[in-house]
Amino acid sequence: DAGVIQSPRHEVTEMGQEVTLRCKPISGHNSLFWYRQTMMRGLELLIYFNNNVPIDDSGMPEDRFSAKMPNASFSTLKIQPSEPRDSAVYFCASAKPGASRLGNTIYFGEGSWLTVV
């Protein structure tokens, strides 16, 4: 079975440019998460969708960040304009309903490595 698929795997962009990261969750999973990994803060939750609806976006750093989930099989995270401090690994993850309550788990993609110069 295909896991969570993210693209691009690596992106290097110049400061001020728009960056779009893409995610295809596991089929049948109705929760989708965007996390960002940095050395200082570990894995930070940016936004969480349930049934394509944003439930919690309190982790989105500022207005430069936006996320959409137009359907159950696709989500994007956009940064506009990008800044060097946005350089990090961005992970998308998905889960079945009640996954963490069951001690089941959420499943992560391989990440998108973003470098803003």
Partner 1 sequence: DQQVKQNSPSLSVQEGRISILNCDYTNSMFDYFLWYKKYPAEGPTFLISISSIKDKNEDGRFTVFLNKSAKHLSLHIVPSQPGDSAVYFCAARPPGNTDKLIFGTGTRLQVFP
- Interaction site with partner 1 (CB under 8 A): 4, 31, 33, 35, 39-45, 48, 50, 55-56, 91, 93, 95, 97-101, 103-111
Comparing CB distances to partner 1, the nearer of 111 and 116 is 111
Shortest distance, CB of residue 41 to partner 1, whole angstroms? 7
Shortest distance, CB of residue 15 to partner 1, whole angstroms? 25
If phi over 0 gives left and psi between -120 and 50 gives alpha, with beta otherwise, what is residue 30?
alpha
CA distance 4 to 109: 5
What are the backbone dihedrals phi and psi of residue 9, each rounded to the nearest 5 degrees, phi first?
A: -75, -40
Shortest distance, CB of residue 20 to partner 1, whole angstroms? 19
CA distance 32 to 25: 7
Comparing CB distances to partner 1, the nearer of 58 and 71 is 58
Comparing CB distances to partner 1, the nearer of 18 and 56 is 56
Shortest distance, CB of residue 77 to partner 1, whole angstroms? 15
Q: Which is nearest to 6 in space by CA: 102, 84, 107, 86?
A: 107
**In terms of DSSP H, where are the helices of the chain?**
none
